[in-house]
Each structure stands twice: as structure tokens, then as C-alpha cells.
Amino acid sequence: MSLHVPTMAEMMAKGESPEILFWVGCSGSFDDRAKKITKALVKILNECKVNFAVLGAEENCSGDPAKRAGNEFTFQMQAMMNIQILEGYDVKKIVTACPHCFNTLKNEYPELGGNYEVIHHTQLIQELINQGQLALKGGGTYKGKKITFHDPCYLGRANDVYDAPRELIKKLDGELVEMKRCKTKGLCCGAGGAQMFKEAEKGDKEINVERTEEALETNADIIATGCPFCNTMMTDGLKSFNKENEVEVLDVAELIANAADL
Amino acid sequence: MVSIAVFAIISLAGFGFFAWNILKIRSNIRLGRDLDRSDRRSERWKTMALVALGQKKMFTRPIPALLHLAIYAAFVITQIELIEIVVDGLSGEHRTFREALGGFYTFMVSFIEILSFLALIATFIFLARRNLLKLPRFNMKEMKGWPKMDANLILFMEIILVSCIFTMNGADEVLYNRGLSHATDLGDGSLGLSVSSYLGPLLFDGMSDGTLHTLERIGWWGHIAMVFSFLNYLPYSKHLHILFAFPNTYYSNLEAKGRFTNMESVTTEVKLMMDPTADPYAAPAEGAAEPQRFGAKDANDLTWKNLMDSYSCTECGRCTSSCPANITGKLLSPRKIMMDTRDRIEEIGNNVRKHGKDYDDGKSLLGDFITEEEIWACTSCNACVQECPVNIDPLAIIVDLRRYLVMEESKMPTELAGMLTNIENNGAPWQFSPADRLNWKDEA
């Protein structure tokens, strides 16, 4: 099945405007692993015939890592460029598959003049399922599997979204198992605050190893998450335990797309 | 008469010195930068009621929360008895309110006694947790020396204080039994207090009348002396949280935790850069404020709320014990960030008072107290902010220190410099062309 991914520019040329902009983000655009998440979400959007578009080449980094690294200049330059583009397309509603883009667009753009309704993709998928637009075939994709959810900090503590991803996992025919530190007490994967782009400081353990160890203690078959950075960190963590063939790291969008046979 | 005069002098000195110290702290906090937290008042009162008064966040760890509640409740309720002590002290009467309040008096003081007894038990358990069980979060690097001593001192003071209460009431009970108490004899044979009517006879029964009178006075004076010592110890101690928890939660950050503050000064510059009609050589407007340093190098570059946070910290270490960097052995400890900030603003405040406003002692928060290694270990995960029982925000300080390093000194880990260059050059933290953003669409 080929993906239907219109850009804002194409839609505008046809005199149309989408209901919602899918903000793909840099990971979702360039990182090989994260691209699969992007495609899973697009499959869901296509299946539900959601009238969406992407910015394509006009999208720019939201500025999150620059801001967390302390470079407010670079952040605001990015933000203002993005806001101009979004304004040009009169964007009202945005969905992102990355909690970092989500947080920045939702919380940090308004003060610079960018006001949108921003939702995380798990929230959108939950809405689609609740409205009956997406049916999970129940073909036993995850029958008997244990799934644990790793809370991304920028979704959970930063924005208090704990339920949407869990509600989705509960809709699968697998079993949701919680780690000892979850929800408000969830342990970071180690990538936030621009750590994704640098080596960790000197210590006696890598944060992602500590977190993966905790996930493995639940005996889960799948570590689910909702963030491309967390995905990378947990995948690397599994490799350090040589468990990459036994345990899978999947985004909630991928779990749902698989269960819906997309 | 002499005792009334002594009491009045002690009280005046006690409250006066305390007020003087609090004003000093207030002036230290005002060394910080402006921040507007005058909005959303009803939400702020509510936050304060829940978090400070109701101790909502303490209860994520139920056992210490219950022990803490016993001490906290005893402390708050005892203030009522303190009113009587002050009235007695100034009037020379004894148990002034007993006759007037009747059964309610017995109930109130009994309630205080029960809470004090529970507080005493909690205090012993807290001492054991710190010194015998050696809970890791109380025995980290930054807790060596004075902070550890500070914590123990408070607990010892608590024990003396409660012991004084029971000595006072217990001895008085035995005296009352003998019809010798200075309290008005209501012909009921006992003061009827919940703990001391048992404890008193148990401990003091065989003692002479004179000894009992002396003990009762030792208890009474010891109690009030401890109250004033405690009050005046607070401004020098982490224990100041018992007062600062209230304003500090009132002025909490009510925004989403993920939202970092916007730097207005940068917004102005960026808008100028993006405005084609802006005159790059324009002189600053008449009366424009002197440009401030970007971010924070020293404690007085932080906002007053950051500084209030530092005075509200009681060094419980919940932040540090939940910090992913600290858990994995990195140098960062959010608690230390708060302790350093407090130590440094104290130092700056003293310098300002001694040598004037522009005095430079050649030291700064970043460098002499907090190292770069510490602030670069932070993942900005907000666990410390989430955990703090009095809504302290160590992350805000860490971010402001990073801002100074990056924007004023261009000092950052090399990989981050590369990441920033990529964002500036090609709009992504990695080196990919913006033209390739949609390539995923057609990849198998």
C-alpha cells in the first residue's frame, strides 16, 4: 500500500486546507528507525481518512535541543521561522510523533506568537479509535505478550500525558505490565535536555542501561514508548544486554498499526 | 516580678533577632532578578493549601510522610499552647485559660500531648534513619559536615522541647494531685491531660514538693527557651522550610513543567534580526535598561524565585534520589544545586551589606560552587521538580547556568556545538539536507 502524504504546499496549490498538520520532526524525517514510526502513523491516518498534510522540505527543527542546551538564540530563530511558515498556511491544529516537538510547539511557541492546538500522536490515535474510525482486528498479533510502557519525560512529567498511550496498549490483546518507576516516577531514558546529541558525563552506568534493566525485570516481550529518542535509547540498552533478538522496542503507533493490520 | 521581666526581655530579644534575620534573608532574595508571579491568585492559594498545608507531595512516600506529619501537626498545634505560655509568662499566672475554657482546655492540651508524644517517636525514628540505617540520600557527598550536623541538631532540639513539655505537665500533675499546683484547683484531683496524667505520677511520684516545683519550672522555662532557640536557629538552618514552604508553594511555577522560560531579551534581538526595516546601527532607546547578562553566572543572576527555592530546601534529597544522572553515578545532584545557590546568595548578601552593592569577591556560583560537569549531566527530565515536596525547581537554575555558558562564553561539549551548527545550517540537529525531509515517503 503506498502512503498518501500531501504537503501543505500541494494542498494550498489545490485551494484546500487540511484539518491537521502532521509535524514529522527531525528524527521522524531522517532517523531510519524513527521513519518507521512516521510511516506507521501515516498508515493509521490514511486508514482513518484523516485530512492531514506535512510541511515536507519546509519543516525545520522545532528548536528543542537548542533551547535545552542553553542556546536561546538558535531556539528562537528556529521558532520564529517555523511560526512564519505555520502562519502562512494558517495552521490551527498539529499532531507530532515526538514529545520534544510536542512540548516545544505546545508550550514554548505561544509566547513567540505561535498558538496552535498541539496533540501527541497517541492522543490522536486514541481519539480515532474512540470515534470508531479505526478498528483493531484482534488477530492475535500480541496475544500472550507482555508489553511495558516507558514514559517519555516530555510527554509524562512535562505535560502530564500518562493515560493516552496506556489506554492504547490496553486495547491490544497483550498485557500491560508496569515498571517499578512509572508515570510521574518514570525514569528518563537519558536522551532529554540535548543529551541525545552528546556523550554522557562520567559516571558508573549509562542511564539507558539502568532503564532497560528495569524494563527487562518486568519480563516484557515488548518495550513500548512514544518518543523517537526513547526508542533509540531503549534499543541501544537492549543491545548492551544482548537481548535485541528477544525483546522489541516499538512505538505505540507501530503497535496499533500492526494490530489493525495496516 | 523578676520572672515576668526576664520573660519579657527573652521574648523581645527572641522575636527581634528572628525578625532581623528574616529581613536579611528577604533582602538576599531580592537580589535576584524580577519575575512576575502575581497572577492566578486563587490557583496559588489552592496550591499552597494542598502542597504546603496539606503536604500532598509528601504522601508519595507514605511512611516518612506519616512520621513527618506527626512532627508537623505537633508543631502547628503546639503554637496554641504557646499563646498560653506567653500570657502566663507576662501575667505571672499559671494555666490562665484552664478555668475559663474548662473541658475544651483539657481536650486541647491533651491533643497537643498526644501529638507531641507521636512527634517524639517520629523524631527517634528520623534520627535512626539518618544515623543508624544510614539512608543513602541522607549520606551523600553534599551532606558531609554541617548539613548532617544541622539535621541532627534539629532532631535533638525537638527531643529536648518535647521532654520539657512532659516534664512541665507531668510535674504539675503530681503537684495538682497533692493540691500544690499553681493552677487553680477545680476540685477534680487531676489536670486530666492525656499523656502527662499517667506519665507524671509514673516518673515523679516519690519526689518532694520542692523538687517538683523546680522540675515544673525547668520544664516551663526550658520549653520557652527551646522555642526561642529554635526560632532563631531557623534562619541559619535548612529547617527554615517550615516557614518558607508556604510562600514558596504559593509562588510555584503553575505552567507545564516542560515549558522553559522565554528569554525576552533574546526575542527582541531575534525580532530585530528578522525585521528587514530594522536599523542595525540604531542607538538604544533613551532610558533603556542596561542589557543583562544572558543566563546566570552567579546567584544574583537568578530570579528571586530561584533564590526563595534555595531557602525553602530542607535537603531531604528526594530530588537527588530520583535524578537519573545521580542514580547512574554522575556528579549532578539537584539538592547540591539548591544548597550551593543558598550558600552563594548568603555570601553575596553579606558582601553587599559589608562592602556595598558593587563589590566583587571574584567568586561566582558557576565555577566556584557548581561545576560545568554537573550542569551538563542534566537530562531535563523534571524528576527533581516532580519529587520536591515544596515545589522547588532545580532545573530552572541548571538551564540558566547553561544559558550563560553557551550564550556568553560559547562553552559547551563539542558535540553540542556541532548539533547547534547543524540546526543553524540545515534546520536539523544532524547533517541532513532539508530537501530530503520527505524522502521517507517513498522509501520501502
B153-184: pLDDT as tens digits: 999 999 999 999 999 999 999 999 998 888 88
User: Within an 8 Å CB–CB cutoff, is residue B255 touching chain A?
Assistant: yes
Q: Distance between CA B224 and CA A241 in Å, rounded?
A: 61
| A154 contacts in chain B (CB < 8 Å) | 258
Residue pLDDT, tens place only, B361-414: 999 999 999 999 999 999 999 999 999 999 999 999 999 999 999 999 999 999
Domains A8-128 and A136-259 share a fold: yes
Q: Are residue B209 and residue B351 in the same domain, yes or no?
A: no
Range B261-273 average pLDDT: 90
Q: Are residue B152 and residue B8 in the same domain, yes or no?
A: yes
Q: Tell whether ipTM is more than 0.85.
A: yes
Q: Does residue B51 form part of some domain?
A: no
Match 532610558 to its residue by C-alpha cell: B287
Residue of B258, B260, B329 with shortest CB distance to A205: B329
How far are the Cα atoms of B45, B46, B47, B281, B434 from residue B40, in angstroms, in the given order?
9, 10, 11, 41, 42
Q: Distance between CA B248 and CA B390 in Å, rounded?
A: 7
Residue pLDDT, tens place only, A44-88: 999 999 999 999 999 999 999 999 999 999 999 999 999 999 999
Q: Are residue B232 and residue B298 in the same domain, yes or no?
A: no
**pLDDT above 70 (res B316):** yes
Residue of A158, A201, A204 with shortest CB distance to B258: A158
Question: Domain containing B363 — which CATH number?
Answer: 1.10.1060
- Boundary of a domain, candidates B194, B214, B239: B239
Q: Does residue B443 form part of some domain?
A: no
Residue of B406, B418, B434 with shortest CB distance to A70: B406
The number of residues in chain A equals 262
Structure-block grid coordinates of residue B420: 547547534
Q: Are residue B235 and residue B298 in the same domain, yes or no?
A: no
Q: Which residue of B has its CA nearest to A35?
A: B440
| A207 contacts in chain B (CB < 8 Å) | 324-325, 327-328, 379
Burial class (CB within 10 angstroms; exposed 0-12, middle 13-18, buried 19+) of B144: exposed
Q: Are residue B322 and residue B188 in the same domain, yes or no?
A: no
Range A171-194 average pLDDT: 96
**What's the half-sphere exposure (Cβ side, CA atoms, 13 Å) at B334?**
34
Min Cα–Cα distance to chain B from A179, Å:
15
How many Cβ atoms sit within 10 Å of the Cβ of residue B367? 12
User: Within an 8 Å CB–CB cutoff, is residue B359 touching chain A?
Assistant: no
Range B292-318 average pLDDT: 96
For residue A1, the model assigns a pLDDT of: 64
Q: Are residue B390 and residue B317 in the same domain, yes or no?
A: yes
Q: What is the pTM assigned to this prediction?
A: 0.94
Residue of A61, A210, A211 with shortest CB distance to B428: A61
Q: Are residue B303 and residue B228 in the same domain, yes or no?
A: no
How many Cβ atoms sit within 10 Å of the Cβ of residue B287? 5
For residue B391, the model assigns a pLDDT of: 97
For residue A139, the model assigns a pLDDT of: 61
Q: Please, which pLDDT band fits residue B15 given cuts at 50, 70 and 90?
A: very high
Least confident span in B97-111, B238-252, B401-415:
B97-111
Residue of B262, B382, B420 with shortest CB distance to A66: B420
Min Cα–Cα distance to chain A from B218, Å:
48
Q: Distance between CA B171 and CA B204 in Å, rounded?
A: 7
- Answer with the residue of higher pLDDT: A137 or B380: B380
- Domain span at residue B133 reads 2-30+61-239
Please judge whether A201 and B386 are an interchain contact, meaning their C-beta atoms are less than 8 angstroms apart: no
For residue B395, the model assigns a pLDDT of: 98
**pLDDT above 90 (res B337):** yes
**pLDDT above 80 (res B444):** no
Structure-block grid coordinates of residue A108: 514554548
Q: Which residue of A has its CA nearest to B60?
A: A185
Please judge whether B405 and A103 are an interchain contact, meaning their C-beta atoms are less than 8 angstroms apart: no
Q: Does residue B283 form part of some domain?
A: no
Q: Please, which pLDDT band fits residue B292 given cuts at 50, 70 and 90?
A: confident
Q: Does residue B205 form part of some domain?
A: yes
Min Cα–Cα distance to chain A from B47, Å:
17
For residue B218, the model assigns a pLDDT of: 94
For residue B89, the model assigns a pLDDT of: 86
- Answer with the residue of higher pLDDT: B278 or B133: B133
User: Within an 8 Å CB–CB cutoff, is residue B297 touching chain A?
Assistant: no
User: What's the number of domains chain B is made of?
Assistant: 2
Range A167-192 average pLDDT: 96
Cβ partners under 8 Å of residue B253, min gap 6: B305, B391, B393, B396
Q: Which residue of B has its CA nearest to A81?
A: B274
- Give the count of Cβ contacts less than 8 A between chain A and B: 210
Indicate the domain borders of chain A: 8-128, 136-259
Structure-block grid coordinates of residue B8: 519579657
Q: Helices A32-47 and A252-259, interaxial angle, to 10°?
A: 50
Domain A8-128, CATH 3.40.50.1370 — does that match? no
Range B344-357 average pLDDT: 96
For residue A138, the model assigns a pLDDT of: 64
**pLDDT above 70 (res A163):** yes
Q: Are residue B302 and residue B400 in the same domain, yes or no?
A: yes
Pick the CATH number of A136-259 from 3.30.2310, 2.60.40, 3.40.50, 3.10.20: 3.40.50
For residue B167, the model assigns a pLDDT of: 95
Structure-block grid coordinates of residue A205: 552506568
